[in-house]
Amino acid sequence: MSALPLPTILLNLHNAAAAAGRPAPRLLAVSKTQPADAVAALAAQGQRAFGENYVQEAVAKIDALAALGLEWHLIGHLQSNKAELAARHFHWVQSVDRPRLVAALAAHRPAGLPPLEVLVQVNIDDEGSKHGCRPDAVPALAAAIAAEPRLRLRGLMAIPAPWPDAERRARAFEAMRALFQALEAQYPQVDTLSMGMSGDYPEAIAHGATMVRIGTALFGARPRPA
């Protein structure tokens, strides 16, 4: 897939939202494996929020681009032994899926920084290869996050399976919307449903996504390891 200009991506998101009768979602530019200069180029066009999968790779970019005042989201699986780095460097962690991680992030979030914005990652299709908690684990995990002063519960994240069957994809998105609405009704600060990527964002938006994660469509194909 070739990269599209940022204004084109934003227009596509706006059009998808308008077609579904929904507000346009926030764009999270997924910059994993992209060099810092590619992030800086997109930031110069007005993009502020960037998503990374790997903590140590991201920290190098965060430090290199600190003067730009960007907003950094961790969207990849977080190992407990990387929780301190994540808590100190990121503004958001979208991949919280177990109580141990909640405690570790809260313990390491510096007092001089605002509370860490947190999303619960849900394995909505119960895929063995995917991270995320089971849907029935969301209430307890959300309560644990909400109880931590150094964390701020903001909502849910999911990576639904790319089923060929449109109805099956729709069921996953709709299940996420139901979980989100239940959480939103309980916690007034909850406002973010992060789902939808380059290949499925129109469907995600139609089913209530408030944030979409776009990488390939913005940056082009990811660099292959040497």
Pick from 101-110, 157-166, 188-197: least confident: 157-166
Q: What confidence score (pLDDT) does residue 172 get?
A: 93
Alpha helices in the chain (DSSP H): 6-20, 36-44, 55-64, 83-89, 99-108, 138-146, 166-186, 201-206, 216-219
Q: What confidence score (pLDDT) does residue 165 get?
A: 83
How many Å apart are CA 64 and CA 78, to the nearest integer? 22
Q: Are strands 26-30 and 211-214 parallel, antiparallel or unpaired?
A: parallel
3-state secondary structure of 61: helix
**Tokens for 83?**
């929780």
Q: What confidence score (pLDDT) does residue 129 get?
A: 65
Confidence class of residue 143 from pLDDT cuts 50, 70 and 90? very high
**Tokens for 153?**
């519960």
Contact (Cβ atoms closer than 8 angstroms) between residue 122 and residue 106:
no
Q: Model-level pTM?
A: 0.95
Average pLDDT over residues 145-159: 97
